[in-house]
Amino acid sequence: MNLRHATLHQLRIFHAVAQHNSFARAAEALHLSPPTLSLQVKQLSETVGQPLFEQVGKKIFLTAAGATLAEACADLETRMERLTQDLAALQGVERGSLKLAILTTVKYTVPKLLGGFCAAHPGIDVAMLVGNREMLLQRLANNQDDLYIMGQPPDNLDVVCEDFADNPLVVVAPPDHPLVGRKRIAPKRLAQEPFILREPGSGTRLTAEKFFTERGIALRNRLEVGSNEAIKQTVAGGLGLAVLSSTTVVAELALGELVQLDVQGFPLIRRWQVVYPRGKRLSAATRAFKDWLFEHRPVAPARRTTPQG
């Protein structure tokens, strides 16, 4: 066995097959014909001197040798990406790539900032993923992206967190709700109301539940919904109240589809965080976007000083 005879092209093809668990899907992803892909994997297997895959029924699985090689390929991909970033840094910030993962709630704020950054730095390739908190934490643990933007950083990961903007949480209701127009509503009054909540683990839900629990109030959970858009429609339909980021309901409040209730202690002020693994080497493009984010972050309106109820 002499791995010096293995080509980088073969290793990338093998890695794609290992990731997709399918020759056909890997061929489609790499824009190769299945026979060409199979030939490259066969030649790599001959170079290694051991089979890399085994077929059980219609499924393929990595052999022990294949699993070892796949791990090495992942390391190689990471090193090649770092090399690309290092070379781009030598050419200045106008070249490079940026992989960004943001919380679903931040999609009302960050993409606008990202658009301005891309216009100012057209030579930087940008990829942005929008997901829920669970997805972002999993990707963060696997170091799959350059930067993560979320509301509540994880407690169990060694990360750097830099807050850059306010994220006010407000209580919203349908326009015909009896509490609309009432002033200084006591939080205990809401114990009688059904609430539409995000999924367990959501940062918005955790913050809202903490606020009410500290006041001896158990929220009536009428529905759990996995997206802010669905929650807004459900509240507008009269099924309950909700605690949402004010950035997500600007249009609905302006149109009168939802109304913000004047609840004592609200808005709850959280902070958006820029998060990345401690010790991670930020590329020139990543540092440039982080600087842009802080330079162009939205200015928060004056905070209300409503006493806590």
Question: Could you tell me the CATH number of the domain that includes residue 76?
Answer: 1.10.10.10
Indicate if 142 and 189 belong to the same structural domain. Answer: no
The CATH code of the domain that includes 127 is: 3.40.190.10
Q: Count H helices and E strands in the chain, helices first.
A: 10, 11
Give me the pLDDT at residue 91, please.
59
Count of structural domains, the chain:
3
In a domain, 300, yes or no: no
Last residue of a domain, one of 61, 86, 111: 86
Give me the pLDDT at residue 303, please.
42
Residue 88 burial class via C-beta count within 10 angstroms: exposed 0-12, middle 13-18, buried 19 and up: buried
Angle at 21 between CA 18 and CA 23, to 5 degrees: 90
Strand 268-277 versus strand 59-62 pairing type: unpaired
Report the alpha-carbon distance of residue 2 to residue 167 in Å, rounded.
56
Beta-bridged to residue 53, according to DSSP, are: 62
Helix axes 110-120, 284-295, angle to 10 degrees: 120
Indicate if 259 and 288 belong to the same structural domain. Answer: no
Residue of 271, 269, 278, 309 whose CA lies nearest to 109: 271
Give me the pLDDT at residue 153, please.
80
Indicate if 153 and 278 belong to the same structural domain. Answer: yes
Last residue of a domain, one of 86, 105, 133: 86
Give me the pLDDT at residue 94, please.
65
Global pTM value:
0.61
Indicate if 275 and 154 belong to the same structural domain. Answer: yes
Residue matched to tokens 């807050």: 163
Give me the pLDDT at residue 152, please.
79
Give me the pLDDT at residue 283, please.
84
Indicate if 281 and 238 belong to the same structural domain. Answer: no
Give me the pLDDT at residue 232, please.
94
Question: What is the residue range of 20's domain?
Answer: 3-86
Pull the structure tokens for residue 59: 């499924």
For every residue of 65-101, DSSP letters joined together read HHHHHHHHHHHHHHHHHHHHHHHHHHT-TTSEEEEEE
Q: Where are the alpha helices (DSSP H) in 34-63?
A: 34-48
Last residue of a domain, one of 29, 56, 86: 86
pLDDT in tens, the chain (309 residues): 667 778 899 999 999 999 999 999 999 999 999 999 999 999 999 999 999 999 898 899 999 999 999 999 998 888 888 787 777 665 556 667 899 999 888 887 888 889 899 888 888 889 999 988 889 999 999 999 999 998 878 888 899 999 888 889 999 999 999 999 999 999 999 998 999 998 887 888 888 999 999 999 988 888 888 788 999 999 999 999 999 999 889 999 999 999 999 999 999 988 889 999 998 988 888 988 999 988 887 655 444 433 333
Give me the pLDDT at residue 274, please.
94
